[in-house]
Amino acid sequence: MNELVLMVALPLLTAFLLPVIDRLSSLAARWIGPLVLLLTAIIGLSAWSQTGSGAITIELGNFRPPLGIDLYVDQLALLFALAVTLGTLLLWPAEGEQRLRQSTLALLLAGSGSGLALSGDLFNIYVLYELIAVVSYGLAASRGTAAGQAATLRYLIVSAFGAALALAGIALVYQATGTLNLAQLAQLAPTQLNNGQGLAAFVLMLVGFGVKAELFPVNTWVPEVYATAPARVAGLLAGVVSKLALLIIVRLLILLFPQPEALTVMLVLGILGVLTGELAAWRARDFNRMLAFSSIGQLGIMFIAFSIPGKAGVFAGLAVALHHLVVKPALFLLAQRWGGSLEHLAGVAKGSPLAAALFILLALSLIGVPPLPGFWAKLLVMIHLLEQQSSLYALGAWIIMAGAALEANYLFRVASSFYRREAAATPPAAHRTGDLAGASLLGAALAAAVFLIVPLADRIEAMAGQAADRDHYIQTVNPEPLP
Amino acid sequence: MDTIIILYTGAFGLIFIGIAGIVLSRHLVRIIFAIGLLEAGANLLLLLATWRDGASAPIIVGGRVPALMADPVPQALVLTAIVIGVGILALALSLALRVQHAWGTLDMRAIRLRLEEEIDDAAGIEPPTSADAPAPRPTAPATREGGA
Amino acid sequence: MQRFTSALFLLGLGVLIAAIFRNMDLAASTPIVGDAINAAAAQQVGAANFVTSVVLGYRGFDTLMELTILFTAATAGGLVLGKPRGDARPDPEAGLVLRAGADLFFPLLLVVGLYIILHGHLTPGGGFQGGVILAVAFFLPLLARPGTPMSHRAVSLIEGLAGASFIVIGLLAMPEGQAFLTPLLDKGQLGSLLSAGSLPLLYIAVGLKVGSELAGLLAQLAATEASD
């Protein structure tokens, strides 16, 4: 199983060597990045079946945890490592004259994202999170416009602020326990972190890691960056990177913070996220910012879902997250040509019927119209929310309903304008084949999921059960007992 | 015990100054420095986590093993955190340099307004009339507050 | 009004931080992992400086990611700053004191930087600290004579190869079934220059990487300022 570390190491190695390779042959430099990602995806896929029965740990440097850093590979972690690798491959962001630097950053994104999904050490998670943050700054500014750079700068300030808070939270955890290994922290948490200091540490880390998960008060950067960055980069950030940050928060919540107040904080922030996101999306007048705000709303739903205690919450949240992981990148691929005012999109269905149909399929699923997967995901969240017999959770359920109504309103408004008789004065250019093929692939996956919904749900439930099982985590890593 | 209270006060004080500086400053360079202060506070907090009075550095010199050694882990962590901070600082300053070249200002509020305008322009949206305010934006305190 | 909201914010922030402070149990927990490392590091890693054992041994993966962050920041910085304009007029040459100082200090800084890198496993210091000194050594002449640009080809070559060699040293253990980043080579006599297995090699890679990265970043910033 040691070879799984190659999912992290190979992309980084290639990124380091890319300028050197480019000097030897620019053709090789163009193709080696995607090829390496394909290779690492195969490595990840070949380990997939082995993780079904139980998780695995990789002890880096051959040091037993908790002294060394370990990677924890369960199906959830491996799925996200694969998602970031394949997502980067699908949305390969290199184009134009800065192609070399963009390829380097894309490779770094895949490597660090895989590492983030697999890491089993609190400080290592912080370092990887910072790495993926720096990569995303570079990608977000890669268009080279002043607006893009200003948006990135504002993003950087929020993100650096959050990361420093997360570091302070890690310091509080370390002060209370003296260890950073997640498994050992899970052992010590019921006695040493189940107090005010633990809650403070959780809130600090929630805000810190929440920046990339588009959590309510620290998501000001989202509309600005998604409107100014290349659409493929926006798709990567909204689709994949935000889910990675969410995965970290959920892992920490399950393993480290048993107190119920932690769940309440997440629930309230999630509700506020849905409210603000969907309202702003409803008022947005251009395609990119509409998608950006809708993504804030969707992540709010995920935060609400994950705040349901126990396995049910992980299952429901995961369903919404995986759905969004497929839908949002596809929408941003369409935005590659359709970015700009919504009014310019009037009558585009005549010129590009496939793209219009794809948009409608994705939008319907996003709203949650049966029998599309988005419906089942939202239904799952609603059922488990109403099961909780608590007014705050019930409020969450109603807010999600209201959000869906808003979503339906603005997405239908856009979709119906596609079929308006009189076309806009300056219709957008036709989609490039690559963009349309990627979006179609994701749309086809979504459509196929309609027929596979039962086995898929079983798989996701098993995955959620594995991820929500603290004892399984502790036993798998089996940290050496220390005095 | 008293020493540690003073040290912790320093760490939390740096965090306080850092957050206040990020939220209340309008000048970009001040904000970037405030981030540095906040990071310094977090680093100090990390170093203090397992601080023990009178412990010596965890280095063996001439084969003598000290009786009470300091925890080497936070020292390694802080080294990492400082280097990360330097990298991000350099990138932030590069971005600030470009923005200053392009727009001739380092005032955060001016930059935000200009950014809003440019995005609307690029999207082909006319500026909103006074009756129709711009789309509501979920503002964090980090961007809403102005001041010195 | 604005002043009032600012004061209110400061008050709230202060109360929040004070609440966290008060809730803390200041009697620190025992560093269970740190003490275990202090007890085992001499035998497991073989470096007399236990902080180095943590940085390159127990938490070598962190260090690799940290190097990657520097590399990413330099790459992203290059992307942001772009090529400096060709018509840029560099600053005039500095005065005699700075020029003579730069000439005088260049070899000294080089020696000190290398010394600190090579002794990282024995004494305080190491690849990061030494690397910064190396970066200064190469940046100082740039301050003294802004007209003579640094060779970007050489810088990018060194940074690429140094970073890659860190990973390659980590990968070398894997064909024998060991995990990534397992320390290699004989541990040697504790406290001697040739000890701690592959750790000094890793630190040389770190030093070169940090040095080239920072020098490159500084030079890039300086060049952009000059083209203003």
The three-point CA angle A274-A277-A283 to 5° equals 135
Same-domain status, A303 and A267: yes
Distance from CA of A469 to the nearest CA of C (A): 25
Q: Do B137 and A127 touch (CB under 8 A)?
A: no
Torsions phi, psi of C214, nearest 5? -70, -40
Q: What DSSP designation does A369 have?
A: -
Query: CB-based contacts of A433: which residues, under 8 Å, 6+ apart?
Result: none
Q: What domain range is A290 assigned to?
A: 121-477
For A105, the token pair is 């950053």
Q: Which residues of A touch C34 (CB under 8 A)?
A: 178
Residue C227 CA, distance from chain mean position = 28
Cα–Cα distances (Å) from C7 to B20, B107, B146, B148, C131, in that order, read 10, 21, 12, 12, 43
Nearest to residue A339, comparing CAs of C186, B60, B119? B119
Same-domain status, A268 and A316: yes
Task: Read off the pLDDT band of C83 (50, 70, 90).
Answer: low
Query: Across the B/C interface, how many CB contacts are shorter than 8 Å?
Result: 144
Same-domain status, A94 and A172: no
The more confidently predicted of residues B128 and C50 is: C50
Q: CA dihedral in degrees (A348, A349, A351, A357; nearest 10)?
A: 120
Share of chain C above pLDDT 90, in %: 11
The domain spanning residue B94 has which CATH number? Answer: 1.10.287.3510
Q: What domain range is B103 assigned to?
A: 2-53+71-126
The three-point CA angle C114-C116-C121 to 5° equals 120
Q: Which residues pair with A286 in a beta bridge?
A: A341
Please indicate, yes or no, if residue B135 is contained in any of the structural domains: no
Domain total of chain A: 2
Same-domain status, A447 and A306: yes
Last residue of some domain: A92, A120, A148?
A: A120
Which subunits sit against B, judged by 3+ Cβ pairs under 8 A?
Answer: A, C
Share of chain A above pLDDT 70, in %: 99
For A220, the token pair is 């000001």
The answer to whether A116 and A129 have CB atoms below 8 angstroms apart is: yes
Whether the pLDDT of residue A107 is over 90: the answer is: yes
Residue B143: per-residue pLDDT: 40
For A395-421, b/e burial (b = at least 16 CB within 10 A) is ebbebbeebbebbbebbeebbebbeee
How confident is the prediction for chain C on average, in pLDDT?
83
* Contact B84/C at CB under 8 A: yes
Please indicate, yes or no, if residue B62 is contained in any of the structural domains: no
Same-domain status, A341 and A423: yes
Distance from CA of C141 to the nearest CA of A (A): 26
Please indicate, yes or no, if residue A11 is contained in any of the structural domains: yes
Region at C30 (left for phi over 0; alpha for psi -120 to 50; beta for the rest): beta
The neighbour count for residue A25, using CB atoms within 10 Å, is 11
Residue C94: per-residue pLDDT: 76
Whether the pLDDT of residue A99 is over 60: the answer is: yes
Q: What is the pLDDT of residues A438-454, one digit of tens each?
A: 888 999 999 898 898 88
Please indicate, yes or no, if residue B131 is contained in any of the structural domains: no
Same-domain status, A314 and A432: yes
Residue A420: per-residue pLDDT: 80
Share of chain C above pLDDT 70, in %: 92
Mapped onto helix, strand or coil, the DSSP state of residue C183 is coil
Torsions phi, psi of A55, nearest 5? -75, 165
Alpha carbons A34 and A237: distance in angstroms, whole number: 19
Please indicate, yes or no, if residue A382 is contained in any of the structural domains: yes
Same-domain status, A216 and A308: yes
Distance from CA of A483 to the nearest CA of C (A): 7
Last residue of some domain: A68, A88, A120?
A: A120
Q: Which residues of A touch C71 (CB under 8 A)?
A: 15-16, 108
Please indicate, yes or no, if residue B136 is contained in any of the structural domains: no
Please indicate, yes or no, if residue A19 is contained in any of the structural domains: yes
Please indicate, yes or no, if residue A483 is contained in any of the structural domains: no
Point out the residue among B42, B95, B119 whose CB comes nearest to the CB of A147: B119
Q: Do B92 and A157 touch (CB under 8 A)?
A: yes
Please indicate, yes or no, if residue B45 is contained in any of the structural domains: yes
Q: Do C164 and A2 touch (CB under 8 A)?
A: no
Q: Do A135 and C177 touch (CB under 8 A)?
A: no
Residue A316: per-residue pLDDT: 92
Alpha carbons A327 and A244: distance in angstroms, whole number: 16
Please indicate, yes or no, if residue B40 is contained in any of the structural domains: yes
Same-domain status, A37 and A142: no
Please indicate, yes or no, if residue A56 is contained in any of the structural domains: yes
Q: Do A178 and C30 touch (CB under 8 A)?
A: yes
Residue C87: per-residue pLDDT: 54
Q: What is the pLDDT of residues A315-346, one digit of tens each?
A: 999 999 999 999 999 999 888 888 778 877 77
For B3, the token pair is 């020493």
Residue B139: per-residue pLDDT: 42
Task: Read off the pLDDT band of B137 (50, 70, 90).
Answer: very low
Alpha carbons A208 and C139: distance in angstroms, whole number: 35
Alpha carbons A141 and A137: distance in angstroms, whole number: 6
Same-domain status, A332 and A426: yes
Please give the average per-residue pLDDT across A349-363, as a whole number. 86
The answer to whether A113 and A284 have CB atoms below 8 angstroms apart is: no
The more confidently predicted of residues C78 and A320 is: A320
Same-domain status, A51 and A157: no
Same-domain status, A218 and A86: no
Please indicate, yes or no, if residue B8 is contained in any of the structural domains: yes
Q: Do A61 and C177 touch (CB under 8 A)?
A: no
Point out the residue among A134, A152, A227 whose CB comes nearest to the CB of B87: A134
The answer to whether A244 and A212 have CB atoms below 8 angstroms apart is: yes
Cα–Cα distances (Å) from A356 to A206, A286, A335, A406, in that order, read 38, 16, 12, 20
Please indicate, yes or no, if residue B58 is contained in any of the structural domains: no
Nearest to residue A330, comparing CAs of A466, A451, A471, A231? A231
Distance from CA of A289 to the nearest CA of B (A): 10
Distance from CA of B33 to the nearest CA of C (A): 17
Q: What is the pLDDT of residues A170-200, one digit of tens each?
A: 999 999 888 999 999 998 888 888 888 899 9
Q: Do A123 and C62 touch (CB under 8 A)?
A: yes
Same-domain status, A81 and A149: no
Q: What is the pLDDT of residues B24-44, one digit of tens each?
A: 888 999 999 999 999 999 999
Last residue of some domain: A70, A93, A120?
A: A120
Alpha carbons A76 and A84: distance in angstroms, whole number: 12
Domain total of chain B: 1
